[in-house]
Amino acid sequence: MLNDFERKILRIIVNYAGQRRRVPRMDELENKTGRSKAFIHESLLELERRQHILWENKSTLEGILILQAWEQAPQPIRKSQPAGDAVKYFTEY
């Protein structure tokens, strides 16, 4: 599960890519987040480790590719109901 800042960085990158057709520069990320380059760099590495982005050339942000724009929510475990209950609902209520 991503922490709040990693989620924020991912949303900024996705929105930039969608609206401006490019990935934000480091100075733009600093302005948008109010965090240091080192902290942003660590968060980008974590996003890559969790396979949300692909970042081959670590010297520039231009080559970042978005692999997964959203964090996958854990799927709830559902108990299956007997088929008779569904039919009963529509016929009796």
pLDDT of residue 14 exceeding 70, the answer is yes
What's the total number of domains in the chain? 1
**Which residue is it, tokens 């010297």?**
59
Residue 43's domain is classified under what CATH number?
1.10.10.10
In a domain, 78, yes or no: no
* 24 found inside a domain: yes
The pLDDT assigned to 85 comes to: 66
Report if residue 73 sits inside a domain: no
Residue 59 lies in domain: 4-66
Contact of 63 with 25, CB cutoff 8 Å = no
- Whether 29 is covered by a domain: the verdict is yes
pTM: 0.74
> pLDDT digit string (tens) for 31-83?
999 999 999 999 999 999 999 999 999 999 999 999 998 877 666 766 665 55
Number of helices followed by number of strands (H, E) in the chain: 4, 2
Is 27 among the domain residues? yes
pLDDT at 25: 95
Higher pLDDT pick, 80 / 26:
26
At residue 72, the pLDDT reads: 73
Torsion of CA 27, 30, 31, 35, to 10 degrees: -160
CB within 8 Å of 37: residues ≥ 6 apart: 26, 30
Is there a domain that residue 75 lies in? no
Q: Per the domain annotation, does 49 fall within a domain?
A: yes
- The CA R_g of the chain, rounded to the nearest whole Å, is 20
